[in-house]
Structure 1
Amino acid sequence: MSAQTAVMQENAGRAGPDLNTQALRTDARRESLRLLALLSPSLLLVFAIIIVPIGWLLWLSLFDEAGGFSAANYARFFEQASYIKTFVTTFKVAFIVTGACVLLGYPLAYMLSQLPRRAASICLIFVILPFWTSVLVRTYAWLVILQRRGLINSWLIDLGVISQPLSLANNFSGVVIGMTHILLPFLVLPLYASMKTIDTDCLRAGMNLG
């Protein structure tokens, strides 16, 4: 009788971890289903306003009015010089604005991460301040500043630096300046959040190691 009891206890001991593992898997599956249920409204919204329009444009670009496959739209893109110029200008603006944001934002984010918490909070207000103003208002403000009779040209002429107003608005330079001003906070804030979590002892150790 004691031998049978020992065998039953041994089987129960072996089955115990398996039951716990199965229970944990069941709980994990339920947790995943709950998260999916919570995310379903936002996923449906993203699908409705992003995936569906992009898919519709892709369909229009690949199929003609009769529903047959056609690459005429892409052939027209390479045949028209204006399309290629627009494509190249878009990437040129993107690269220049990205470089300008990195050159301006990385040192700013590093400086903010090294400041005391109170001083960093005050400086972050000036970084976040553009978010409180509409993009349209900021665009008109840059037009006032950069136009031929704007503040910059007026100051440069008064100082004797230039004799004729510079063309800074409604051109490539104005677009780069305005886009850099709009997108700079989007680079500074994530960099600041990452740099703030770096242990300062690691920086000191890196300096000691050269």
Structure 2
Amino acid sequence: MDTSAAPKSGSLTRWPLLRAATPAGRYGPSLTLVLLMPLIVLFSIGFLYPIGRLVIMSFGDAAPGLVQYRRILATPLYLGVLSRTISTAAIVTVLSLTLGYPVALAMARARGRAALVIAAAVLIPLWTSVLVRSYAWIVLLQRSGLVNAFLVDSGLTAAPLKLLYTDGAVILAMTHVLMPFMILPVTNALRSIPPDYARAARSLGAGSFATFMRIVLPLSLPGVFAGCVMCFILAIGFYITPALVGGPEAMTMATLIAQQTTVVLDWPFAAALSTILLLVTLTCVVVFRRALSVSKGIHSVT
């Protein structure tokens, strides 16, 4: 049978009739736009419109201008809350990476029952409500809680310590809540690394530490950056855990915004605070993306 007239793979451009028969050739970009239209409408109504209204409200209706922003910059209390929020989010991100990377490495390399146990230890807390986990830390850290009871009974302290309603309690509870968001992206990046790379490095004389530093860690950086972005963004806008575990003494931007909207009822000022928090979040995302691109460029050269 003569097969010279049959179209070859990837040669639809030579056969206009076949190209027109395909959905992409028949409808073109209009079909893609129609399919994306529900998502675009939902994104516009659920995100762009509220954010736009928030920014407009921050400039004030009665006296439009930068009055609310000048108030934030001129008050040390608000700048201190913003600084505490950013520093707390940074510390939580670093702790989540430090504690979560070994777990992710073990989760990526484990097989069989060990892999199931590690996955359950990571995912079950993620499926538990943040409110429940925050109350669990209150039970542990209060003056009559398990931690203080252990310290007093063992003779390490003469009286119960103030562990609850402190910055340390907020950092500890937030790290526990956000650590799965660091572990899962890093685990996915580690599993995507071919094992032949590590075997090749060891066959060339590299030890375990050198293999990790030169092969495993650089190739897992996309997962590390993704986990850092998620942890930092979630931490910078966390509300439930700082409100319950930290109290009024460890106020963050989220609790301050809630106070302005529900107690003081100063919506323009709350909108200005939210806009500043949004700008900080977008800046951090841009910095993380830039750092990831620079890291990829460095490792591609080396």
* Residue 107 (structure 1) aligns with: 102
Task: Compute the displacement of 1:191 (Å).
Answer: 1.2
The residue correspondences of 1:79-118 to structure 2 (distance < 5 A) are 79-118=74-113
Unaligned runs of 5+ in 2: 1-12, 207-302
Task: Compute the displacement of 1:183 (Å).
Answer: 0.5
Unaligned runs of 5+ in 1: 1-15
Task: Compute the displacement of 1:101 (Å).
Answer: 0.1
Task: Compute the displacement of 1:83 (Å).
Answer: 0.8
* Residue 214 (structure 2) aligns with: none
CA deviations over 1:86-145 (Å, ceiling 9, x no partner): 100100110000000000111110011111144212210111011332111111111000
Amino acid at match of 1:98: T
CA distance in 2, matches of 1:190, 1:29: 39
Q: What is the aligned counterpart of 2:183 among 174, 188, 194?
A: 188
Give the stretch that moved more between structures: 78-87 or 56-65: 56-65
CA distance in 1, matches of 2:202, 2:26: 47
CA distance in 2, matches of 1:132, 1:141: 15
CA RMSD of aligned residues (A): 2.6
Q: What is the aligned counterpart of 1:40 among 19, 37, 43?
A: 37
Task: Compute the displacement of 1:56 (Å).
Answer: 1.0
* Residue 61 (structure 1) aligns with: 58
CA distance in 2, matches of 1:29, 1:87: 54
Amino acid at match of 2:148: N
Q: Secondary structure at the match of 2:196?
A: helix
1:20–1:157: structure 2 CA closer, same or farther, 3 Å change rule? Answer: farther
1:154–1:42: structure 2 CA closer, same or farther, 3 Å change rule? Answer: farther
* Residue 200 (structure 1) aligns with: 195
Q: What is the aligned counterpart of 2:141 among 132, 140, 146?
A: 146
Q: Is the 8 A contact 2:104 2:186 kept in 1?
A: yes
CA distance in 2, matches of 1:139, 1:93: 17
Q: Which has the higher contact order (CA 8 A, sep 6+)?
A: 2
Amino acid at match of 2:77: S
Task: Compute the displacement of 1:57 (Å).
Answer: 1.3
* Residue 124 (structure 1) aligns with: 119
Aligned length: 193
Amino acid at match of 2:59: L
Q: Secondary structure at the match of 1:177?
A: helix
Amino acid at match of 2:75: Q
CA distance in 2, matches of 1:189, 1:160: 40
1:163–1:44: structure 2 CA closer, same or farther, 3 Å change rule? Answer: farther
* Residue 52 (structure 1) aligns with: 49
Amino acid at match of 1:52: Y
Amino acid at match of 2:105: Y
1:83–1:21: structure 2 CA closer, same or farther, 3 Å change rule? Answer: farther
1:36–1:149: structure 2 CA closer, same or farther, 3 Å change rule? Answer: farther
Question: TM-score, normalised on structure 2?
Answer: 0.57
Q: Is the 8 A contact 2:72 2:79 kept in 1?
A: yes
Q: Is the 8 A contact 2:143 2:161 kept in 1?
A: yes
Q: What is the aligned counterpart of 1:155 among 135, 150, 154?
A: 150
CA deviations over 1:9-36 (Å, ceiling 9, x no partner): xxxxxxx638489749971684754454
Task: Compute the displacement of 1:78 (Å).
Answer: 0.6
1:170–1:29: structure 2 CA closer, same or farther, 3 Å change rule? Answer: farther
CA distance in 2, matches of 1:153, 1:71: 48
Whose Rg is larger? 1
